[in-house]
Structure 1
Amino acid sequence: MEYSGYRWVVLGLAWLLFGTLFLFWYDMGTLAPVLMETYGIDQTTYSLAFTLPWLIAGLLSFPAGMFADRVGVRTAATIGGVIAALGTFVRAYPGVETLLLSQAILGVGLGIVFVNLPKLINAWFPPHQVGLATGIYLTSMMIFLSTGMVIAPYFPSWEYANTLGGGVIFIATLIFAAFVKNAPPGVEIPKAPVIEGAKAALSNRAIWGAALGTFLAMSGMVPWQALFATAAYVELGIPIAVGGAIVSLITNPGWVGSFVFPALSAKTGKVRLYIIVLSILFSALMLAAWFSGDVNAMWVLVGLAGFVAAGVIPHWMAVPAYLPFVDSRMKPEYIGGATGVLNTFLCLGGFLSTPFIIAPIAASSGFTTAFTVAAIFFAAQGIFAVLIPEPPK
C-alpha cells in the first residue's frame, strides 16, 4: 500500500472538523450557573442537556460506522458536519425544549463524524503511525473543548455564541468536503456487508475491552468537566471564569500528552501498562486538586491530570485501526463497525454518568463524594486493558 504525503492534509482537515463540534458545545461547562438560571432548571436537568449529545452519538455510533463503510468517510463526515452546524444554530433560540432539541441534533452530527477517523487512518497511515495519528486527531477535541470553556464567559450573549458556532462548524465542513479523499490514489478499501462487519466487531474481545474501557473513561471524566466550575463556585467561592479556566486544563495540556504517550508506547510497547498507570494517576491528581481547595494548587494538579489523561483515550481509540494488523479475524473493511461499537460505549459513558449518577450524588451527598465516585470510574478503566493486544511494531 502506498502512503501519500497528503495524509497529513487529510488528518489536519479531519482534526479541524472534529474539533469545531466541541468548541461551542463545552462552553456550557463554564456557563452552568448562568444557564440554570436562564432556563430555570436544576443541576440534574442541566447535566442531562449538557451530556445529551453523547447519548445520541452513542446510539448512532454503530450504524453510523457501518454507514461510513458503505458510502465513504468524506460523504458521511460531510453529512454529519452539516447536521452538527444546524444543531448549534438551533441552540441560539430560547427555551428548554429548544435547548434539548438542539443538543439532540448536535448529537446526530457528532455520532456520524466521530466514527470516521479510524477508517481514514487505516487508509492513509502505515501501521506503525496509527497510534500517533490517532493521538494527533484527538488533540482537536482537547484543544477546542478547552478553548470553548475558557472563552465562554466573554461572548456578548448565549445567542451570539451559538450563531457564531454554527457558522464555524459549517465552514469547517465545507473545507473538509472540498479537500479530503477517502484513500490514497490506487487504494481501494473493500466495503463489508453490514451483518458481516457487525458480527466481526461484536465477537472480538479486544473491541469489547476497548469499548468498556472508554465507557469508564468518559464516565469518570465528563462529570469533572460538567460540574467542576459550578462546584468550585458554590463550595469554594472561586469565580466561574476562573473555575472554567482551571477545569479546561483537563483537556488543554492534553494535546501534548496525546503526542507524547502514543509516541512512547510506539517505541516501548506496553500499551496496556500505560493505560493502567495513567488512569490511576489522573484520578489521584484530580482528587488531590479538589481536596486542596487552593486555586494555585488546582492550576498545577489539574494541568498535570490533563496531561496524563490524554495518554489514555488515544490508545483505546487506536485499537480498531491497528487490530487488522495483529488479528486475522479483523479485516480492514470491518473498522467502521468496530469503531461504531467502541464509540457507542464511549458516548454512553459520557452521557449516563453525569445526570444519572454523579449529579444526583452531588445533590444528596455533596461534590466531594460525587467527584470521588467519578475518580473511581476513571481509574477502573485499566481493568479492561488486559483484553487488548499490543499494536504492531
Structure 2
Amino acid sequence: MTGHAKQLLSPYRWVILLIMWSTMCIALTAQFQISALAYQIIPDFNLTPGQYGMVLTAPMLAGLFFSFAAGALADRWGVKRVVAVGFVFSIVGTFFRFSAENFLQLFMLMFLAGICPGFLNANAPKLLGAWFSKEQMGMAMGVYFSATGVGMGVALATSALFPSTKSAFITAGVAMLIIWLLWLLFIKAKPEGAPDLPVMPVTKYIGVAAGSKNVWLVGVALMFLMGSSMAFTGFLPNALHSEQGMNPATAGLVASIVTFGTVVGSILGPVISQRTGKLRPFLALVAILGAGAGISAWLVPQGAAMAVLFATLGVMLGMCAPILMSFPMLLPEIGPVYAGSAGGIIGTLQVVGGVCIPSFIISPLAGQNYTLFFALGSLCLLLVSVVVLLLPELGSGSRVKVGTDLAKAM
C-alpha cells in the first residue's frame, strides 16, 4: 500500500462521514415532516394534490437548479466552501417554515431548505473519495445514504407527535444550525499530506463530465430510482390515511417501514455487491424485486404481509442508491478530478426524477387512484433494471483493470 493510500485511511475519515451523514439526515427529516404532517398542512393551507406534491418536492427543486453548478464549483473551490454557503439558505428555509401563511411562502421556504442537501449530494462522491479508498467507497456511500432513510423515518415516525407544526419546524431548524457549526469547525477537504488535485477552468471540469455517456446513464438510473422512491415515501402516509382509513400516526409508522428499510439496504447493498463481484446483474435483480414488492405491498390487506413487503421495498431502494452514486469515482474517465461535476450532472437528473415523476407524471395519470399511482411508482423502479444493464461492469471482479486505467487517466 502506498503512503497516499494510507493517508486515505486516516481515522479522521469517520468524522467527515459522520458530519455528512448528520447533514443529510436532518435535511431529509425537515423535508418529510411535510409528508407526516400532510393531514394538517393540506387543510391548513387549502392545498390541492398538485400543490402538496410541489411543496413536498420543493427541496429537491433546489438540487435540480443548483446541483450542476455546485459540482463544478466544488471541483474549483472545494466542497467545504460550497456546501457551507448552501447551509445558510437551508437554515433560513427550514427554521422559518412556521411563519408561512400560504402555499407560495411555504413552497419558497421548502425550496431554500433543499439548497444545502442538493449541494452536498452532488459532491458526496468527491468528498468521500478524498478520504476513503476505492475499495471502501461503496461502504462509505452506503453509510452516507443510510441518512436519507433515517431522516425520512424519523420524520414519518415522530412528526405527528409534536404538539404543533410550528414546534416540529423550529426543532428541525435548530438542529440544522448546530450541524452547520460542526461543518465549519471539523470538515476538511482531504487528509493532511494528500496531493492537491489539478486546478482547471470550471468549463474543463464540466466538459469532461458531460462528455461521459456513463455519467448520463447513472443519472437516468437514479432519476427512475428517485421517482419511485418519492412516489412511495412522499405519498404513502396520506394514501394510507385517506384510502385505507389508518389514523395519521399509524400511517406514518407504516410508511417509515419503507424508509428504515432503505437504511438496511444502504449498508447491505455495497457489502453484497462487493462479494458477488458484479454490479450490473446485482442492481438489475434488486430493482426487479423492489418493483414487485412495492405494488404487492399496496394490494395486500393490512397486517404483517404489508409490513414485510414495504420493508422489502425499502431494502431494495436502499441497495441501489449508494452503488449508483459511487460510479463517478470508479469510472476511469472521471475519477476524483471530475467527480464533482459528474456528481452535479447525476444529482440534477436524480432530482428531476424525484420532483417531476411523482408530481407531474404519476399524479396526473393516476389522479385519486392510488393503486395505479403505486403501480406506476413500481414501474419506475423496474426501469432502473433496464438502464443499469447498459453501464460498464465495475464490480470487484474488474477492479484491477479499473485501477490501472484510472492511474493512466490521472
Superposition deviation, residue 298 in structure 1: 1.7
Equivalent residue for 2:239, pick from 222, 231, 234 = 231
Distance 1:10 1:238, change over 3 A: same
Q: Helix, strand or coil: the match of 1:310?
A: helix
The answer for the alignment partner of 2:76 in structure 1 is 70
The total of aligned residue pairs comes to 388
Equivalent residue for 1:202, pick from 200, 210, 221 = 210
The answer for the alignment partner of 1:367 in structure 2 is 370
Q: Which moved more, 1:38-47 or 1:191-200?
A: 191-200
Q: Does 1:330 align with 2:342?
A: no
Superposition deviation, residue 136 in structure 1: 0.7
The answer for the alignment partner of 1:165 in structure 2 is 172
Q: Helix, strand or coil: the match of 2:389?
A: helix
The answer for the alignment partner of 1:304 in structure 2 is 312
Query: Equivalents in 2 of 1:146, 1:50: separation in Å?
Result: 15
Superposition deviation, residue 19 in structure 1: 1.3
| Contact 2:233–2:259 (CA under 8 A) maintained in structure 1 | no
Q: Does 1:388 align with 2:391?
A: yes
Q: Counterpart of 2:319 in structure 1: which amino acid?
A: G
Query: Equivalents in 2 of 1:13, 1:180: separation in Å?
Result: 8
Equivalent residue for 2:87, pick from 75, 81, 85 = 81
Query: Equivalents in 2 of 1:274, 1:255: separation in Å?
Result: 18
| Contact 1:27–1:150 (CA under 8 A) maintained in structure 2 | no
Q: Does 1:271 align with 2:271?
A: no
| Contact 2:229–2:317 (CA under 8 A) maintained in structure 1 | no
Q: Counterpart of 1:276 in structure 2: which amino acid?
A: A
Q: Counterpart of 1:149 in structure 2: which amino acid?
A: L
| Contact 2:297–2:306 (CA under 8 A) maintained in structure 1 | yes
Q: Counterpart of 1:116 in structure 2: which amino acid?
A: N
- Percentage identity across paired residues of the two chains: 27
The answer for the alignment partner of 1:53 in structure 2 is 59
Query: Equivalents in 2 of 1:160, 1:81: separation in Å?
Result: 21
Map of 1:168-207 to 2, 5 A cutoff?
168-187=175-194, 188-207=196-215
Distance 1:331 1:253, change over 3 A: closer
Superposition deviation, residue 331 in structure 1: 4.4
Query: Equivalents in 2 of 1:382, 1:11: separation in Å?
Result: 29
Q: Does 1:119 align with 2:126?
A: yes
| Contact 2:129–2:137 (CA under 8 A) maintained in structure 1 | yes
Superposition deviation, residue 75 in structure 1: 1.4
TM-score normalized with structure 2 length: 0.91
Superposition CA RMSD, Å: 1.4
| Contact 1:192–1:333 (CA under 8 A) maintained in structure 2 | no
Equivalent residue for 1:139, pick from 127, 137, 146 = 146
Q: Does 1:343 align with 2:335?
A: no
| Contact 1:319–1:388 (CA under 8 A) maintained in structure 2 | no
Query: Equivalents in 2 of 1:203, 1:180: separation in Å?
Result: 31
Q: Counterpart of 1:74 in structure 2: which amino acid?
A: K
Query: Equivalents in 1 of 2:199, 2:340: separation in Å?
Result: 10
Superposition deviation, residue 275 in structure 1: 1.2
Gapped runs of 5+ residues in structure 2? 401-410
Q: Counterpart of 1:99 in structure 2: which amino acid?
A: L
| Contact 1:122–1:322 (CA under 8 A) maintained in structure 2 | no
| Contact 1:236–1:293 (CA under 8 A) maintained in structure 2 | no
Q: Does 1:110 align with 2:117?
A: yes
Per-residue deviation, residues 222-278 of structure 1 (Å, max 9, x unmatched): 011121111112221111211111111212122222111201212221111121111
Query: Equivalents in 1 of 2:180, 2:174: separation in Å?
Result: 10
| Contact 1:142–1:251 (CA under 8 A) maintained in structure 2 | yes
| Contact 2:87–2:115 (CA under 8 A) maintained in structure 1 | no
Equivalent residue for 2:266, pick from 258, 261, 267 = 258
TM-score normalized with structure 1 length: 0.95
Equivalent residue for 1:27, pick from 25, 33, 48 = 33
